[in-house]
Structure formats: structure tokens, C-alpha cells
């Protein structure tokens, strides 16, 4: 009978140990899930701020979302590397005026890979351009992929962005 008590005690001990371990495992998973959700919310906010920045013609808001060594790959153009080169491409100091009339996006894919996050989104961009006597407008429908990278301070910045136009219609 003494061995039964020891065996029962051993079973109870192992059952308690298993419950404690699984509880810690679940707690760690909950913390990881919370952290991933927090990171996803931050990435989605950066995406939203990017769209808002264009609609508000806010150069600093847009450029503040990018890493110093970021790169963009516009449709049918060579990659543009470095934050200042991107700034010069998007915001040239040549007296031209580019106006974003409308910009709609929908994130269709979101993936986290440790210190990287990747979104793919559809977009409809309605914009116009004017310089001297040249003026035109365009509506572009496209697919965009953006890679965000976690910074040393745990914040997120846009590291890479590329887009492909599905349709371009003069406006």
C-alpha cells in the first residue's frame, strides 16, 4: 500500500509539473501573440501614415517612415536607393507640382519574419503633375509590396518598397 501512495504522489507530482510547464508555455505564447499583434498594429499604422502623408502632401511625414538606406522600385524604373535619392525622386526641387487627388489601398497580405514584416496591398492612385506649361494627370491601379524592418530602438521603418501598375489611365 505504501508503494501505491508513492506512485499516486508521483503521478500527482508529474501532473502538477506538466500543468505548470504547459501554463508557462501558454503564458509565453500569449506574450508572443500580444507582441506580434502590437507589431502588426504599428506596421498597419505606418502604412496608414504613408497614405495620409501623400494625401496631405506632407514630405516630412512620408520620408520619416523610411530608413536611411531604404530602397524603392517604381514600376518600369530602376531601383532608387537611399532616403535622400528617394526624396529627390518624389519631391524634386524643380518648381514642379505633383498633387495626389486620391489614394486608396487595401492590405491583402501581412507576414512577420522576426525583425522583418512584409505587406502586399492593392492601390488606386489618382495624381496630377504640373510644371510650367506641362500638365497631366494619371490614375494608376497597382499591386505594392513593402518590407518593414525593426530598428535597434524596436521601432519599425520602411526598408524596401516596390510596385507594379496593373492599369494606367490618363486623367
Give pLDDT, residue 13. Answer: 63
For 25-39, 59-73, 76-90, 101-115, which range has the lowest pLDDT when averaged over its residues? 25-39
Please tell me the pTM assigned to this model: 0.80
pLDDT of residue 74: 95
Q: Is 40 exposed, middle or buried (0-12, 13-18, 19+ CB in 10 A)?
A: middle
Q: Taking residues 111-124, what's their average pLDDT? A: 96
CB contact set of 165 (below 8 Å; sequence gap of 6+): 75, 76, 140, 141, 142
Let me know if domain 39-170 sits in CATH 3.30.830.10. Answer: no
pLDDT at residue 35, rounded to an integer = 82
Does the pLDDT of residue 22 top 80, yes or no? Answer: no
For residue 64, list its beta bridge partners. none
37-85 per-position pLDDT tens digit: 999 999 999 999 999 999 999 999 999 999 999 999 999 999 999 999 9
Amino acid at each position: 500500500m505504501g508503494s501505491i501512495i508513492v506512485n499516486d504522489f508521483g503521478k500527482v507530482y508529474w501532473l502538477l509539473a506538466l500543468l505548470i510547464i504547459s501554463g508557462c508555455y501558454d503564458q509565453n505564447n500569449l506574450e508572443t501573440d500580444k507582441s506580434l499583434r502590437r507589431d502588426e498594429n504599428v506596421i498597419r499604422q505606418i502604412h496608414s501614415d504613408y497614405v495620409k502623408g501623400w494625401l496631405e502632401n506632407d514630405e516630412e511625414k512620408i520620408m520619416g517612415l523610411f530608413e536611411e538606406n531604404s530602397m524603392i522600385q517604381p514600376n518600369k524604373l530602376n531601383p532608387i536607393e537611399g532616403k535622400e535619392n528617394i526624396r529627390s525622386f518624389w519631391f524634386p526641387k524643380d518648381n514642379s507640382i505633383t498633387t495626389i487627388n486620391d489614394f486608396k489601398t487595401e492590405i491583402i497580405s501581412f507576414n512577420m519574419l522576426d525583425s522583418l514584416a512584409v505587406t502586399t496591398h492593392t492601390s488606386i492612385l489618382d495624381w496630377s503633375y504640373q510644371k510650367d506649361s506641362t500638365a497631366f494627370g494619371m490614375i494608376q491601379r497597382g499591386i505594392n509590396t513593402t518590407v518593414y524592418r525593426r530598428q535597434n530602438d524596436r521601432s519599425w521603418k520602411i526598408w524596401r518598397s516596390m510596385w507594379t501598375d496593373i492599369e494606367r489611365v490618363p486623367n
